[in-house]
């Protein structure tokens, strides 16, 4: 029998009007960003809004392609834009919102495994937490941290050179 270890996942759930000003803005921006999604294949619209240390907010939305795997999630569209245009800038928070086409209500947003891995890479480099604000149905928002969403993450530290 192996020795049991317990991994604790920490998150908080808020009603949207309990968020502070900048978080409220960021969530609104993520919701706006999903309107620029190009999602003719899934009809699933995702928006991401990323707050940088200098106060800039970078938006991303999912961008699909007829060759399906060539498309990219909203989170990675925003993060790679930051890597390319704001290299080294600390990322403070990421808000994500998702909605199927023509839906009135937001559905649960939770970054896919590949996006968690990409967020972790930046988080690992900056050695500072990145808060995730994940829009949920019923005007709720889950607040968590990258390391909580990707336990036992694989990072550059594991790659021996
Ligand atoms: N998608 C995102 O943009 N972010 C996520 O966190 C989950 C999924 C996109 C990918 C694809 O364009 C569509 O949602 C359906 O999977």
> Does 32 map to a domain?
yes
Residue-wise pLDDT for 97-150, tens only, equals: 999 999 999 999 999 999 999 999 999 999 999 999 999 999 999 999 999 999
% residues pLDDT > 70 (the chain): 99
Tell me, what's the pLDDT at 74?
98
* Number of domains within the chain: 1
Average pLDDT, the chain: 96
> Does 160 map to a domain?
no
Taking the centre of ligand 1 as the mean of its atom positions, its distance from the CA of residue 129, in whole angstroms, is 23
74-85 vs 113-126: helix crossing angle, rounded to 10: 30
Residue 135, domain CATH: 3.40.140.10
Q: Which residue has the tokens 């245009």?
A: 85
Give, in order, the Cα–Cα distances in Å from 32 to each of 27, 49, 91, 107: 9, 9, 20, 15
> Does 2 map to a domain?
no
% residues pLDDT > 90 (the chain): 93
> Does 142 map to a domain?
yes
Residue 120 domain boundaries: 12-153
Q: Which residues line ligand 1 (CB under 6 A)?
A: 39, 42, 44, 46, 62, 64, 71, 73-75, 111-112, 115
> Does 4 map to a domain?
no
Lowest mean pLDDT among 4-8, 55-59, 104-108: 4-8
């Amino acid at each position: 029998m192996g020795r049991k270890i317990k991994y604790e996942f920490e998150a908080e759930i808020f009603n949207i009007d309990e968020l502070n000003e900048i978080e409220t803005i960021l969530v609104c921006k993520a919701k706006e960003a999903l309107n620029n999604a190009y999602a003719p294949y899934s009809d699933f619209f995702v928006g991401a809004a990323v707050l940088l240390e200098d106060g800039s907010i970078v938006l991303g939305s999912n961008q699909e392609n007829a060759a399906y795997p060539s498309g990219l999630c909203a989170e990675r569209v925003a993060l790679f834009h930051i890597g390319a245009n704001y290299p080294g800038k600390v990322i403070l928070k990421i808000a994500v919102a998702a909605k199927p086409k023509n839906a009135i209500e937001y559905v649960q947003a939770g970054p896919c495994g590949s996006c968690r891995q990409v967020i972790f890479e930046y988080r690992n480099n900056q050695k500072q937490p990145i808060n995730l604000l994940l829009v949920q149905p019923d005007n709720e928002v889950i607040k968590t941290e990258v390391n909580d969403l990707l336990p036992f993450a694989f990072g550059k530290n594991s790659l021996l050179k």
